[in-house]
Amino acid sequence: AQTVTQSQPEMSVQEAETVTLSCTYDTSENNYYLFWYKQPPSRQMILVIRQEAYKQQNATENRFSVNFQKAAKSFSLKISDSQLGDTAMYFCAFTRDDKIIFGKGTRLHILP
């Protein structure tokens, strides 16, 4: 079975702090892509960051970075200098063939 597990249903951090969202996944494939999507209250799905599984270097996108541990099938998201606008639901996902498989999400609250 291909699954994505996000063990933190909800998190709260103070503005400007750094927060790490955890994600583990299970696949038997060797080549796949991993994603973090953000879903604000508007419920739109916004791509935050993407990682190709064949690349060892961790992806970064401004304040967002990942810690990709392929052997452990772990893909955590680090948000540095968190901002109020980062408040949202965050979904970890991976893709193979024609579809994206999502985790259940982590609801992140950034507190002023």
Residues that bind another protein in the complex, under the rule CB under 8 A: 31-33, 35, 37, 42-47, 50, 91, 93, 95-105
Question: At closest approach, how far in Å is the CB of 76 from another protein?
Answer: 18
Nearer residue to another protein within complex by CB, 14 or 40: 40
When the beta carbons of 88 and 93 are compared against another protein, the nearer one is: 93
- Residue 62: partners with Cβ closer than 8 Å, 6 or more residues away: none
Strands 88-96 and 33-39: antiparallel
CB 34 within 8 A of CB 75: yes
CB of 37 to another protein, least distance (A): 8
98 within 8 A of 77, measured Cβ to Cβ: no
**Measured from the CB atom, is 32 or 82 closer to another protein?**
32
Q: Which is nearer to another protein, 1 or 112 (CB)?
A: 1
CA angle 54, 60, 64 (to 5 degrees): 130
Q: How far is the CB of 44 from another protein (least distance, A)?
A: 5
